Structure 1
Amino acid sequence: MKLVVLGLTLSSSWGNGHATTFRALLRAFAQRGHEVLFLERDKPWYAAHRDMPAPDFCRLELYGEPAGLRRWQDEIAAADAVMVGSYVPDGVTVGRMAQRMAEGVCAFYDIDTPVTLAKLEKGDEEYLSPALIPGYDLYCSFTGGPTLELLMRRYGSPMARALYCSVDAAAYQPVETGRRWDLSYLGTYSPDRQPVLERLLLEPARRAPQLRFAVAGPQYPAEIDWPANVERLEHVPPSEHPAFYSASRYTLNVTRADMVRAGFSPSVRLFEAAACGAPVISDRWNGIEDVLEPGSEILLADGAEDVLRVLLNPDEAARDRQAGAARRKILAAHTAEHRAAQLEAMLRAARRDKTTRPQAQERESA
């Protein structure tokens, strides 16, 4: 099939998790024999940090203002499916245009579902409005569980399905490297994640100055008081993620507050770290057991004491068993190939469903 994606970014992994998610998914989708066109808003902060300006698995085109999308109107109309992503600049306008232009399935891929719903509850329509949701034939959600029923019952989505993030298993593998840190964290600064990072990494670092820690990612405020044994890395490009994780005895997964409340929202970093053989310590949220089994495949922590109990445990064999079990689980169920097959099945189901219901009344005509 021909798929057109209007997403936040494919070209730059700077300060976002969307690029690596799209790269893994669309590469695997193309390998299934499909054709992909990705349309990305040309933004200066991504233009300055493009680490994939010319992907080899799809066609990437840049546009300026939403009106510039008319250049690809014929391709959008001819596509079997069109998919708009979350956090697309002027996303409501872009969504309206996509729904008007698309003659095939029109889908929304929300890599931020709990954040999206929290915004809608407050009347914030930064990239999606309640009126647009019924006009998307398929709502692919980063979050599973009860949220899917909420999208269909309250917001009128005709078909809401979980499409978790995944990992490119060919790119994310263990790397032979020396252990540099006892605990690492990779993620862009977020105010609602910072208290958890403080509790599960910075406080353990203060209490155990003999251990080594790392926090990698941009946009952290200058006033943060970093302990001396915490190494700061401003940006680690995706090509260096495997080496980063492999240099860590353990790595930390921290979940945004809205996603903790919704549950069933595994981050792409969790899949990537486990695929690289780094055992994961995570904060606690409903549905995590659907991805990795607490205790044997992932360790859950509520405070600094829990983290230090793990880091100060000399049983490296137990660490290796956890890492191996998690890697096997991820490779068996959560690779990009698994997600691409799921997406293909969802799009085909949405196309069948689309033919059985009237569209003119469901799509926003504005």
Structure 2
Amino acid sequence: MSDRFKIRFFAHSWVSDWNHGNAHFLRGLARELGKLGHEVRCFEELGAWSLSNLVNSECDRAIESIDQFRAKFPMLDVRFYDRNNKFDEFLDEHLSDADFVIIHEWNDPAIASAILSRKEKFGFRALFHDTHHRAYSRAGEILRFPLHLFDGVLAFGEPITRIYRDGFGIPKVWTFHEAADIDNFHPIRSDKSTDVVWVGNWGDEERTKELLEFLVRPATELPDRKFKVHGVRYPEIAIQTLETAGIDYQGYLPNLSVPAAFSQSCVALHVPRREYANGLSGIPTIRVFEALACGVPLVCSPWSDAENLFRPGHDYLVVESGEAMTAELAHLLSDDAARTQLSASGMETVRARHTCAHRAQQLQEICEEMTR
């Protein structure tokens, strides 16, 4: 029988997914760890930017999003803290009996330092969890953390693992991919009201050129097809560009409403940020896992499955240019059998290898390895 651990998990936000895609996986992971018998507490700082932006900028959908979270994740023990109000007492109370403390990389480095300063006193092991490209693109931001005080790093792809091990000199690094929360991401019977859907954020200028080529151009060249986009941080010029191309921009969509949006669409697009198509080639972001889990045929702008997580050409399609994207979308939208084969293959791979339950089992094995 496996050991049962007291796990304390600090993330930027559990309640809000506004511009915070990491919440998708973290929620499912924490739930599955609980199913394995571990005691998991989830910590979130009061006033964190994701929840603040959700409440302040998405008035119409904020209540819906928070209510969905509460309804779908009643089992998560989420606790808020205020770093300016009895924070030392809070940490002492919740870390005194911890076996493992996991700190996600969107926490403030000062929070991480306060937690790690208690390692020797309480005897817990600490893991740093990285699910972003900053170790590659803005290493200085990651090096603000006292990485030498962690007992290991969970990195969401092999290129990030190599950076921590070979570049930052961290001896214990595990490749720990994200995965689909299939309790919430699965096929839903629905009429198709949209031909092509893309769910993602425009911001940061990390894929503007790619979106123009692989989303806007095909929409312009297929004027009889209905394209729909959901996401946040779209500047006015981007919204105008979508409108000119005939794309229906819907703004923020709570992540737990995404399966319904996929179910109403014939095809989904994946347009990775350029970091994941270049230096971090091989790392799929969470939307790949989620789209495949929902059984929606997926067509991607260029990225390489260098870690052999999927079966490119069978689980999803990759096109090399905007022209090729237009042609592939036109083909899929007129071929029911091709869409059915693609969706069935992608869903099969996710369910066999890439669910939150798979990752919870892997994390349990990592914890057991560290306690031997």
Structure 1 length as normaliser, TM-score?
0.88
Moved more, 75-84 or 187-196: 187-196
Amino acid at match of 2:259: P
TM-aligned CA deviation for residue 45 of structure 1: 4.8
| Structural mapping, 1:1-366, within 5 Å | 1-43=5-47, 45-47=50-52, 48=55, 49=62, 51=66, 52=69, 55-65=73-83, 68-70=86-88, 71-88=90-107, 91-102=108-119, 103-112=123-132, 114-120=133-139, 123=140, 125=141, 128-129=142-143, 132-144=146-158, 146-190=159-203, 191-224=205-238, 225-226=241-242, 227-260=244-277, 261-287=279-305, 290-313=308-331, 314-352=334-372
TM-aligned CA deviation for residue 304 of structure 1: 1.7
Instruction: Choose between structure 1 and 2: higher helix proportion.
Output: 2
* Per-residue Cα deviation, 1:135-179 (whole angstroms, up to 9, x for no partner): 2112111122x4323311221212111111111112111111111
Tell whether the 8 Å contact from 1:183 to 1:201 is kept in structure 2 after alignment. Answer: no
Q: State how far apart, in whole Å, the 2-side matches of 1:243 and 1:339 are.
A: 25
Amino acid at match of 1:249: C
TM-aligned CA distance change 1:106 to 1:67, over 3 Å: farther
SS in structure 2 of the partner of residue 262 of structure 1: coil
Tell whether the 8 Å contact from 2:178 to 2:285 is kept in structure 1 after alignment. Answer: yes
Q: State how far apart, in whole Å, the 2-side matches of 1:288 and 1:242 are.
A: 27
Tell whether the 8 Å contact from 1:38 to 1:59 is kept in structure 2 after alignment. Answer: yes
TM-aligned CA distance change 1:64 to 1:130, over 3 Å: closer
Q: State how far apart, in whole Å, the 1-side matches of 2:266 and 2:46 are.
A: 39
TM-aligned CA deviation for residue 333 of structure 1: 0.3
Amino acid at match of 1:325: S
Q: State how far apart, in whole Å, the 1-side matches of 2:302 and 2:84 are.
A: 40
Moved more, 202-211 or 287-296: 287-296
TM-aligned CA distance change 1:24 to 1:311, over 3 Å: same
Q: State how far apart, in whole Å, the 1-side matches of 2:50 and 2:166 are.
A: 38
Where does residue 363 of structure 1 map in the other structure? none
* Per-residue Cα deviation, 1:78-107 (whole angstroms, up to 9, x for no partner): 21100110121xx21112122121322100
Where does residue 58 of structure 2 map in the other structure? none
Q: State how far apart, in whole Å, the 2-side matches of 1:282 and 1:32 are.
A: 35
Tell whether the 8 Å contact from 1:138 to 1:350 is kept in structure 2 after alignment. Answer: no
TM-aligned CA distance change 1:75 to 1:45, over 3 Å: closer
Q: State how far apart, in whole Å, the 2-side matches of 1:172 and 1:141 are.
A: 23
TM-aligned CA distance change 1:3 to 1:230, over 3 Å: same
Amino acid at match of 1:143: G
Q: Which runs of 5 or more residues in structure 2 are unaligned?
A: 56-61
Aligned residues: 343
Q: State how far apart, in whole Å, the 2-side matches of 1:184 and 1:27 are.
A: 29
Runs (4 or more) in structure 1 with deviation over 4 Å come to none
Tell whether the 8 Å contact from 2:20 to 2:50 is kept in structure 1 after alignment. Answer: no
Q: State how far apart, in whole Å, the 2-side matches of 1:83 and 1:4 are.
A: 6
TM-aligned CA deviation for residue 67 of structure 1: 6.8
Q: State how far apart, in whole Å, the 1-side matches of 2:352 and 2:84 are.
A: 40
Amino acid at match of 1:248: S
Moved more, 65-74 or 244-253: 65-74
Structure 2 length as normaliser, TM-score?
0.87
Q: State how far apart, in whole Å, the 1-side matches of 2:265 and 2:38 are.
A: 37
TM-aligned CA distance change 1:134 to 1:72, over 3 Å: closer
Q: State how far apart, in whole Å, the 2-side matches of 1:326 and 1:33 are.
A: 30
Q: State how far apart, in whole Å, the 1-side matches of 2:307 and 2:101 are.
A: 32
SS in structure 2 of the partner of residue 305 of structure 1: helix
SS in structure 2 of the partner of residue 108 of structure 1: strand
Indicate the RMSD between aligned Cα atoms, in angstroms: 1.9
Q: State how far apart, in whole Å, the 1-side matches of 2:134 and 2:300 are.
A: 20
